[in-house]
């Protein structure tokens, strides 16, 4: 799958014949972030081991993977919108509302209606976001922030706390493991693969990158940029819906703060850029994003093991995010020079 | 900045690969061979969705008459245990046998593990300091592991799984972030090691003991009754709440609402402040402007009490009778400005109790199935007993920490 | 998206008198026309809801309450108009208040002037760091300031163990709480001074280069603008504004561990409400500050209306989207009809601004 990371770059093409393939691979953010994830794991293992702990235990690895699922689903969706040069700040409240809708619908109806209700809700919110951004020409930052406020009011007006109950059959998604691997991880992988196929192997994906790269040029060459942006927003919200379903199954109920306490809005954007996707759009991909999510999860686990002060964690996260993006910018500059 | 206009279209079909992965995922779901889920679904909750409480006049879904009556009864009782150490006291205890949890081998080699919801407010920060100091008191505790969920339910579920799966943990202390959502994880952990739950509960009684003070109804009622006594009939009451949907705070408000409904007081406004002093000042001054005068202020927690007092001062009005909490800054303002006030508490000394309980359980001594702690109230008469100079403004007076190692420095105070 | 820019034909050197008048109006109001309309509607609505609202002391109290947001919006405007973001301002406010309390905890007798100056300096330092990381390391400012937000919040709470250990003395709090001459709140004075300074700044050469930089970095650089320096300075000023807001907020309501929560989004919303384009190059600072007043008026209105606390945010979301959507629509129509030359800021464009060079050379520069 890492082969996809070799997204061709016009500027890099001539350089390719001169530089060895290996170096080129290393310079790619998507490869880099996976290497970084491996490095952080190794470092964490050494540090924790030195302190008499045991880092690479089964429980721990399972925990890391499990903790990546929710953020991973959101971040993969966020990648799609960021690739078009847009972004989505409404994801956190959509998750909260999604868990509530899932749990309350499943309580009265069946699991299937619950899943459908959440996906329908997500698609509607994504569509609204896309239409506001393209139709009303409101900047995505403000548009999705506005949607977030609207969802927040909706949640606070309708739910006064955790609500609904998820049937035991649906909780398998959140708790079951296949051997050591959590089932939910397969959900994340399935969604990632689906997104990867969509972004890299379809005409729509082609348009996605084109719109994010240079909207004007894309439009001139016949890409329906508006439609593309709207579809990207719908796609993102559907991924968020999947995250909400996963969280509902894990929490067993809907929680109004499921999405906001974890700051999925900013965290997902951080994971996306950590994975090498350019915030302005047009470059990057879901594979890198998954690596970014993994780096954050491994860091978290290392801090857990070392008993690091939770406030200090934020400092490190901030530094890591800035440093990573600075590194990508430097590499990108060297290549295009 | 070079921009990649478009990825090179690829011809190689990948659909089969994708299909294969999807199929694997599907298969995995079907043939899942192990599950961390508890055997049965979480017990039916009392929090089931009865939505739409928008008018505010219907009884809140959080209101539980039987529990309300129980708490008011408990408030009138004298707790058992040493009066000087309220964190070891218990109200109406029903003891449970713990012989099966007795730790074999060396008794001076205890590893305690704690899954904390987070330290996202001063109450929890003071509490965690109390707990850590309590651990220091006991030489038999070899290791004390704390995992902080930073307010995320999902992370706390993983934390509990991680600690329950950790062979080194002799007992697990849990302070749940949310009642309903952590029930499955706690149930699962109960099968592996003795679990002690405190502060917020879970919807299962599998824990060896559940430690908490009398509770929100007691808190809300004490505060409301004070205003009913102090404010003249028909007086205008402003109710300030932190945010909707927090169970602990909802019970406080539902008890207060009941008391106000029975009285002749007029609750003119119920506002959410998000615990933000600036917003509180705005809300209070707007309320004064809108209603001419406010004759009493009820608050569901003390974080915004001083801001409310200042709002009255800034608008040139007298500070009416008001309720707060045992936060240092409010107690100081109360004393300095000679306010008419009361401070019910949700004592932070309850953070000491889980450690004591864990050690008793590991020794096989009896503990109450539900360990109800007393919930003292700060009044004008005992204000001086609780107010200690030199503590930081966001310290909680009811910490029971005055004799713990490191006091007052570790709590940010000065001698 | 690329509203307006595509049709931005080369300027007419000698416009007809009728269009000239129209252009003057359009230029004075700039892209801010919708925000002034919104502000007027809200202020009228407030008067209708609460007849006492315009009593001098009540109105001044309203302005005092709005002051921190207005100052933050002014600072945020400088960053946005040159094409960047500053998400760290909320964290600077929180960190400023908590750090001041912490320092007072150790040195209870520190003079307030020194403390205030220290905070402003620290705000400038945070802004400088933001600016340098963004320009020298070429990290997008969204990420730089997001990281800075995490770092500042984490660091200040790590330092204080989660909650501030000291309290803010009365003399430090005077600026945010007390009044000068017995009637004029110091905060209002600070707000007016900051407003005048920033308007003067935008009329200076620096202001024009700032807008030009946001309009097209390349063109600005070709015209001899030191783009990096201009941007770094914008971040520094935003940091100082945030620190000033911290002094006012800390003074107004005292120590709080969440003093600045949400301010970054409110400030950006205010600026955008003022018709300032995210991505830079367009909009006036007066309109941005009017956006902040509108937002505060909206909060007050919802509060006085007794709108259920829960629905407040929904109303806020709808109004923000509607106002910005309306602004975007209005703007494109206005421009198509009138073709106002240069950036429609309050400042009249100088004869040879870099921006003009750019507009002739790159009519299709994409706008985010």
ipTM score of the complex?
0.85
Give the pLDDT band of residue C10 (cuts 50, 70, 90). very low
**Which residues in chain A belong to E strands, given as ranges?**
176-178, 181-182
Pick the closest to residue C251 from C191, C174, C193, C189 (CA basis). C174
Residue B280 near chain C (CB below 8 Å): yes
Burial of A111 (0-12, 13-18, 19+ CB in 10 A): middle
> In residues, how long is chain C?
368
Residue C141 near chain A (CB below 8 Å): no
DSSP string, B10-74: --S--HHHHHHHHHHHHHHHHH--EE-S-SSPPPPPTT-------SS-SPPTT--HHHHHHHHHH
Pick the closest to residue C86 from C229, C248, C240 (CA basis). C240
Q: Which chains have 3 or more CB–CB distances shorter than 8 Å to chain C?
A: A, B
As a whole number of angstroms, the distance between CA B311 and CA B317 comes to: 9
Cβ–Cβ pairs < 8 A, chains B and C: 87
Contact B394 C304 (CB under 8 A): no
**B209/B220 same-domain check:** no
Distance from CA of A325 to the nearest CA of C (A): 6
Tell me the pLDDT tens digit for each residue of B234-290. Answer: 999 999 998 877 778 888 999 999 999 999 999 998 888 888 888 899 889 888 988
Contact B6 A206 (CB under 8 A): yes
Contact B36 A176 (CB under 8 A): yes
CATH of the domain at C235: 1.10.3470
Residue numbers of the domain that contains C193: 31-361
As a whole number of angstroms, the distance between CA A135 and CA A90 comes to: 18
Q: Which residue of A has its CA nearest to B39?
A: A168
Contact C161 B277 (CB under 8 A): no
Residue B299 near chain C (CB below 8 Å): no
**B200/B264 same-domain check:** no
- Whether residue C5 has pLDDT greater than 90: no
Tell me the pLDDT tens digit for each residue of A187-225. Answer: 999 999 999 999 999 999 999 999 999 889 999 998 899
Query: Dihedrals φ, ψ of C367, to 5°?
Result: -105, 140
Mean pLDDT of the region B164-171: 86
CATH of the domain at B359: 3.40.50.2300
Chain C neighbors of A318, CB-CB under 8 A: 146-151, 154
**Cβ-based neighbours of B332, under 8 Å, separated by 6 or more:** B387, B393
Q: What residues pair up with B148 in beta bridges, in sequence order?
A: B116
Distance from CA of A89 to the nearest CA of C (A): 11
Residue numbers of the domain that contains A285: 27-336
**B195/B163 same-domain check:** yes
Whether C347 is in a domain gets the answer yes
Residue numbers of the domain that contains B139: 78-213+348-375
Tell me the pLDDT tens digit for each residue of C345-363. Answer: 333 333 333 333 333 333 3
pLDDT of C89 reads 96
**B362/B283 same-domain check:** no
pLDDT of A308 reads 84
From the list A60, A163, A189, the residue facing B49 with the nearest CB is A163
Give the pLDDT band of residue A298 (cuts 50, 70, 90). very high
> Mean pLDDT for chain C?
81
Chain C neighbors of A147, CB-CB under 8 A: 317, 321
Pairing, β B110-116 against β B171-175:
parallel
From the list C137, C146, C272, the residue facing A139 with the nearest CB is C272
Give the pLDDT band of residue C29 (cuts 50, 70, 90). low
Domain count, chain B: 2
Tell me the pLDDT tens digit for each residue of A137-186. Answer: 888 999 999 999 999 989 988 887 888 889 989 988 988 888 888 899 99
As a whole number of angstroms, the distance between CA C300 and CA C292 comes to: 12
Query: Dihedrals φ, ψ of B56, to 5°?
Result: 80, 0
Domain count, chain C: 1
**Cβ-based neighbours of B171, under 8 Å, separated by 6 or more:** B101, B110, B112, B113, B193, B194, B195, B196, B358, B361, B362
Contact, A79 vs A275, CB < 8 A?
yes
Residue C362 near chain B (CB below 8 Å): no
Mean pLDDT of the region C190-218: 93
More confident residue, B322 or B41: B322
Give the pLDDT band of residue A133 (cuts 50, 70, 90). very high
More confident residue, A253 or C366: A253
Whether C50 is in a domain gets the answer yes
Residue C260 near chain B (CB below 8 Å): no
Residue C162 near chain A (CB below 8 Å): yes
| C-alpha distances in Å from residue A147, one per residue of A151, A161, B43, C317 | 6, 21, 35, 6
Distance from CA of C135 to the nearest CA of B (A): 13
From the list C138, C155, C313, the residue facing A329 with the nearest CB is C138
As a whole number of angstroms, the distance between CA B86 and CA B398 comes to: 10
Contact A325 C139 (CB under 8 A): yes
Contact, A178 vs B32, CB < 8 A?
yes
- Whether residue C330 has pLDDT greater than 70: no
Q: Residues 156-185, chain A: which have Cβ within 8 Å of C? A: 156-157
Pick the closest to residue A265 from A50, A82, A52 (CA basis). A82
- Whether residue C275 has pLDDT greater than 60: yes
pLDDT of C94 reads 94
Pick the closest to residue A72 from A237, A177, A194, A187 (CA basis). A187
pLDDT of C35 reads 87
Contact C317 A139 (CB under 8 A): no
- Whether residue A335 has pLDDT greater than 80: no
Pick the closest to residue C103 from C88, C118, C124 (CA basis). C118
Residue C295 near chain B (CB below 8 Å): no
pLDDT of C237 reads 97
Whether B96 is in a domain gets the answer yes
Name the least confident of A31-45, B54-68, C158-172. B54-68
Name the least confident of A330-334, C10-14, C164-168. C10-14
Contact A322 C153 (CB under 8 A): no
Whether A135 is in a domain gets the answer yes
**B97/B140 same-domain check:** yes
Q: Which chains have 3 or more CB–CB distances shorter than 8 Å to chain A?
A: B, C
DSSP string, C251-279: HHH---TTTTTTHHHHHHHHHHHTTPPTT
Residue C56 near chain B (CB below 8 Å): no
**B340/B353 same-domain check:** no
Whether C129 is in a domain gets the answer yes
Whether A101 is in a domain gets the answer yes
Chain A neighbors of B154, CB-CB under 8 A: 67, 70, 247, 250-251, 258, 262
Q: Which residue of A has its CA nearest to C273?
A: A142
**B225/B326 same-domain check:** yes
From the list B24, B148, B158, the residue facing A310 with the nearest CB is B148
pLDDT of B103 reads 84
Whether A14 is in a domain gets the answer no
């Amino acid at each position: 799958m890492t082969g996809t990371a070799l997204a061709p770059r016009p500027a890099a093409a001539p350089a390719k014949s001169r530089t060895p393939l290996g170096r080129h691979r290393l310079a790619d953010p998507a490869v880099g972030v996976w290497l970084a994830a491996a490095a952080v794991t190794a470092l964490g293992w050494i540090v924790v081991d030195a302190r008499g702990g045991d880092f690479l235990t089964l429980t721990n690895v399972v925990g890391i993977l499990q903790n990546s699922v929710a953020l991973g689903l959101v971040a993969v969706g966020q990648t799609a919108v960021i690739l078009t040069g847009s972004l989505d700040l409404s994801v956190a409240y959509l998750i909260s509302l999604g868990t509530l809708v899932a749990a309350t619908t499943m309580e009265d109806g069946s699991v299937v209606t619950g899943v459908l209700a959440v996906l329908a809700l997500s698609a509607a919110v994504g569509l609204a976001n896309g239409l506001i951004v393209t139709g009303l020409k409101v900047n995505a930052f403000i548009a999705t922030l506005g949607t977030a406020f609207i969802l927040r009011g909706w949640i606070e007006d309708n739910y006064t706390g955790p609500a609904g109950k998820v049937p035991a059959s649906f909780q398998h998604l959140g708790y079951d493991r296949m051997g050591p691997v959590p089932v939910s991880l397969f959900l994340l992988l399935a969604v990632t693969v689906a997104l990867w196929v969509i972004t890299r192997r379809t005409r729509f994906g082609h348009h996605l990158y084109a719109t994010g790269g240079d909207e004007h040029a894309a439009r001139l060459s016949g890409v329906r940029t508006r439609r593309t942006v709207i579809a990207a927003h719908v796609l993102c919200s559907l991924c968020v819906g999947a995250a909400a379903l996963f969280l509902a199954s894990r929490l067993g109920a809907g929680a109004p703060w499921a999405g906001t306490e974890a700051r999925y809005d900013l965290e997902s954007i951080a994971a996306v850029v950590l994975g090498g996707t350019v915030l302005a759009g047009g470059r990057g991909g879901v594979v890198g994003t998954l690596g970014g999510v993994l780096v954050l999860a491994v860091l978290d686990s290392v801090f857990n093991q070392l008993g690091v002060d939770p406030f200090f964690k934020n400092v490190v996260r901030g530094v890591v995010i800035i440093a990573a993006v600075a590194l990508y910018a430097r590499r990108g500059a060297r290549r295009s020079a | 900045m070079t921009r990649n206009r478009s990825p090179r279209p690829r011809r190689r079909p990948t659909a089969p690969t994708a299909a294969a992965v999807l199929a694997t995922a599907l298969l995995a779901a079907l043939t899942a061979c192990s599950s961390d889920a508890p055997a049965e679904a979480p017990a039916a909750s009392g929090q089931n969705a009865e939505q739409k409480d928008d008018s505010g006049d219907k009884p809140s879904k959080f209101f539980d008459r039987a529990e309300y009556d129980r708490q008011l009864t408990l408030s009138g009782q004298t707790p058992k245990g040493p009066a000087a150490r309220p964190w070891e006291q218990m109200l109406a205890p029903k003891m449970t046998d713990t012989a099966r949890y007795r730790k074999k081998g060396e008794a001076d080699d205890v590893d305690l593990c704690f899954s904390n919801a987070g330290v996202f407010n001063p109450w929890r920060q003071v509490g965690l300091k109390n707990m850590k100091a309590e651990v220091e008191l006991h030489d038999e505790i070899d290791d004390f592991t704390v995992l902080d969920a930073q307010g995320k339910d999902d992370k706390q579920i993983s934390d509990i799984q991680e600690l329950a799966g950790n062979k080194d943990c002799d007992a697990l202390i849990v302070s749940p972030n949310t009642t309903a959502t952590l029930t499955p994880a706690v149930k699962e952990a109960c099968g592996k090691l003795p679990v002690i739950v405190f502060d917020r509960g879970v919807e299962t009684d599998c824990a060896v003991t559940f430690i908490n003070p009398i509770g929100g109804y007691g808190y809300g009622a004490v505060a409301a009754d004070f205003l009913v006594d102090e404010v003249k009939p028909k007086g205008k009451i402003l109710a300030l709440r932190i945010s909707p949907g927090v169970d602990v705070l909802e019970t406080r408000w539902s008890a207060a609402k009941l008391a106000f409904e029975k009285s002749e007081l007029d609750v003119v406004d119920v506002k959410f402040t998000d615990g933000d002093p600036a917003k509180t000042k705005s809300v209070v001054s707007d309320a004064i402007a809108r209603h001419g005068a406010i004759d009493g202020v009820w608050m569901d927690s003390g974080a915004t009490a001083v801001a409310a007092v200042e709002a009255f001062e800034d608008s040139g009005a007298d500070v009416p009778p008001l309720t707060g909490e045992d936060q240092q800054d409010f107690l100081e303002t109360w004393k300095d400005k000679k306010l008419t006030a009361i401070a019910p508490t949700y004592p932070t000394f309850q953070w000491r109790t889980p450690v004591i309980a864990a050690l008793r359980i590991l020794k096989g001594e009896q503990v109450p199935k539900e360990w109800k702690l007393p919930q003292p109230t700060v009044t004008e008469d005992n204000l001086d007993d609780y107010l200690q100079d030199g503590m930081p403004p966001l310290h909680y007076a009811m910490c029971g920490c005055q004799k713990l190692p490191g006091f007052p420095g570790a709590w940010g105070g000065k001698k | 998206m690329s509203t307006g820019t595509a049709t931005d034909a080369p300027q007419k050197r000698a416009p007809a008198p009728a269009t000239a008048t129209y252009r003057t109006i359009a230029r004075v109001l700039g892209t801010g026309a919708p925000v002034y309309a919104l502000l007027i509607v809200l202020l009228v609505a407030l008067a209708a809801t609460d007849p006492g609202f315009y009593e001098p002391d009540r109105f001044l109290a309203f302005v005092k309450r709005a002051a921190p947001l207005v100052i933050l919006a002014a600072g945020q405007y400088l960053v946005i108009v040159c094409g960047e973001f500053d998400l760290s301002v909320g964290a600077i406010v929180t960190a400023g208040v908590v750090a001041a309390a912490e320092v007072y905890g150790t040195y209870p007798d520190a003079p307030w002037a020194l403390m205030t100056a220290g905070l402003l300096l620290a705000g400038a330092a945070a802004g400088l760091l933001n600016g340098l990381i963004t320009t020298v390391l070429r990290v997008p400012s969204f990420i730089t300031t997001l990281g800075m937000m995490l770092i500042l919040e984490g660091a200040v709470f790590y330092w204080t163990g989660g909650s501030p250990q000291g309290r803010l003395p009365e003399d430090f709090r005077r600026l945010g709480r007390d009044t000068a001459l017995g009637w004029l709140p110091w905060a209002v004075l600070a707000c007016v001074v900051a407003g005048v300074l920033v308007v003067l700044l935008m009329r200076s050469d620096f202001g024009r280069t700032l807008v030009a930089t946001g309009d097209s970095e390349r063109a600005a650089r070709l015209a001899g603008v030191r783009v990096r320096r201009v941007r770094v300075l914008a971040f520094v000023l935003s940091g100082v504004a945030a620190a000033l807001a911290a002094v006012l907020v800390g003074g107004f309501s005292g120590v709080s561990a969440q003093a600045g929560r949400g301010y970054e989004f409110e400030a950006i919303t205010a600026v955008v409400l003022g018709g300032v384009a995210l991505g830079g190059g367009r909009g006036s600072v007066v309109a941005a500050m009017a956006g902040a007043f509108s937002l505060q008026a909206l909060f007050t209105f919802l509060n006085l209306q007794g709108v259920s606390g829960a629905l407040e945010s929904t109303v806020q979301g709808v109004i923000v989207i509607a106002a910005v959507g309306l602004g975007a629509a209005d703007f494109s129509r206005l421009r198509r009809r009138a073709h106002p030359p240069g950036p429609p800021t309050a400042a009249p464009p100088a004869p040879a601004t870099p921006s003009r060079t750019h507009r002739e050379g790159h009519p299709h520069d994409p706008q985010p």
